[in-house]
Chains A and B, each alone.
Chain A
Amino acid sequence: MFLKNSYDVVVVGAGPAGSAVTKKCASHGLSVAMVEKRQEIGTPKRCGEGLSFEMIDEMGLKIPQNCIRKEIDGCIIVAPNGKKTIIDFGKPSGYILERKVFDKWLAAEASRAGAYVQAKTEVTEILKNNGKVSGVRCKYQGESIDISAKIVVGADGVESKIGRMAGLNTTSKLINIDSGFQFEMSNIEIEDPNKLWIFFGTKIAPRGYVWIFPKGEDIANVGIGVGLTDKPARYYLENFIKEYPSLQRGSILEVNSGGIPVGGFLKNMVLDNFAVVGDAAHQVNPIHGGGIQEGTVAGHILGDVINEAIKKNDTSEYALSPYNKIWWNNHGNKLLNVQKVREVMEKLSDGDFNTITNSLTGEDILELSDGKKLSVLAKALMKNPRLIGLARHLL
């Protein structure tokens, strides 16, 4: 127990991305420590807590029952005019998790693979040797400790400072950050509590949407993500709840907020002896704002690259750059497509949105949110001469 003075790898931040890279490195036999500044891993959540089975498969996880709150079998998308597009898989297709349990489980799994994990340990400084990252200085219970590391990984979330301290500019442009606000509500009525609910409309959520993710029959994460607006996200969510009868009697069990990266992927995510992963590297789907799976798969790629680098005794920027290449080939380019779809959606009026959802099937919408079938949306846009410019953006 307690941190040693030297590791192969130090990972800063114990979210899903941090735990993924930590576990991967540890299972390759490297010595790894993961530190988390908050006193409890997984708390407070900044997340709607939904994961599809497809995402879970991609991450290669067998999620234990105690992390799962509810099975979901589809999704209902409500257009600005109230018209519902129902995507019904007819069988369970995803989970709503309990993030505080899930994140802790992921961190515990990393520790079982041989890593050392420590909460309430905040990195205050990046140590450098000849201008290159050589470790971290952290604080635990008021005591300062210096740890040297061959590689430091910044997995410190949307508010990442580790990257910038190391010399990598990870600052998000305002246009690429959504403002998120959420209540976990109980004693509400949910018309179909087995589906995710998504509400669009420029009045309801400018440049974004409202979600209701059921965690039980009468309990749900009710949240909003909005782009740059004059009024705060909280204002829009409270208005939505006031006007939505089945939520009005609800109680508030939890208040969550946070910035959601919705684009601005980093061309370069590495320096000598250093890399960033997860929200810190803006690895989030720009449409649905989901980052667990993106951060996890990136963490696995990074873990393998780190292992190669350390085994070859070369942890230079060049030796770590396969992480850039593999991530961009397998994930980044797809996410750039999703970002394009988002940029188009943001420019649609409520009327355009209504018309376009009319000509898309539920499956089309799913594919689009995964960066595929952009031509289907382009075709739908081209039906209106006014929107041809937007269609070009997709092709």
Chain B
Amino acid sequence: MEWKIDRKKCLACGACVAVCPFLAVELTNNQIVNNKEKCTACGICSRVCPVKAIKVE
């Protein structure tokens, strides 16, 4: 399982951060970053993304 973000699509709005149950996604320096150690690749972040910039596959 891999968490991927398309930075061309991402607007750094933080919707994914709001729903991450594991505090694995953060909005820092105006960028969404994923902490691989915390991420369980559950895909919740990808479902809420208004532009579907996140893919978990």
* Contact surface of A with B, Cβ cutoff 8 Å: 37-38, 44, 46, 122, 157-161, 164, 171-174, 177, 179-181, 228, 231-235, 255-259, 261
Contact = CB atoms under 8 A, between A and B. Distances in A.
Contact of B18 (A122, A172, A181, A234): A172
B48 A258 contact: no
A160 B18 CA distance: 7
A164 B23 contact: yes
A174 B48 CA distance: 7
Interface in B17-57: 17-21, 23, 26-30, 44, 47-52
B14 A259 contact: yes
- Top-4 shortest CB links A-B: A159-B14, A259-B15, A159-B17, A233-B50
Nearest to A180: B50
A228 B47 contact: yes
A228 B19 CA distance: 12
Given A122-B29, A159-B27, A234-B52, 13 more contacts: A37-B28, A46-B13, A159-B14, A159-B18, A173-B19, A177-B18, A177-B48, A180-B13, A180-B50, A228-B48, A233-B50, A234-B50, A256-B13
Contacts of A164: 23
A225 B10 CA distance: 17
A172 B19 contact: yes
A161 B17 contact: yes
Contacts of B17: 158-159, 161
B50 A181 contact: yes
Given A171-B20, A174-B48, A38 B15 contact: no
Contacts of B49: 179, 232
Contacts, number: 83
Contacts of B13: 44, 46, 159, 180, 256-259
23 contacts: A38-B30, A122-B28, A157-B14, A158-B15, A158-B18, A159-B14, A159-B17, A160-B18, A161-B23, A171-B20, A171-B23, A172-B19, A173-B19, A177-B48, A179-B50, A180-B50, A181-B50, A228-B47, A232-B52, A234-B51, A259-B13, A259-B48, A261-B18
A174 B26 CA distance: 17
A364 B43 CA distance: 39
A320 B34 CA distance: 34
A256 B14 CA distance: 11
A161 B26 contact: yes
A179 B15 contact: yes
B14, B16, B21, B30 — which one has the most chain A CB atoms within 10 A of its CB?
Answer: B14
B50 A257 contact: yes
B13, B26, B30, B50 — which one has the most chain A CB atoms within 10 A of its CB?
Answer: B50
Given A171-B18, A172-B19, A259-B18, A179 B27 contact: no
Contacts of B29: 122
Given A228-B47, A232-B50, A177 B15 contact: yes
A174 B15 contact: no
B19 A259 contact: yes
A157 B14 CA distance: 9
A37 B26 CA distance: 13
B21 A171 contact: yes
B15 A180 contact: yes
A325 to B, nearest CB: 26
A170 to B, nearest CB: 9
B14 to A, nearest CB: 3
Contacts of B19: 171-174, 177, 259
Contacts of A181: 50-51
B18, B47, B48 — which one has the most chain A CB atoms within 10 A of its CB?
Answer: B18
B18 A179 contact: no
B53 to A, nearest CB: 9
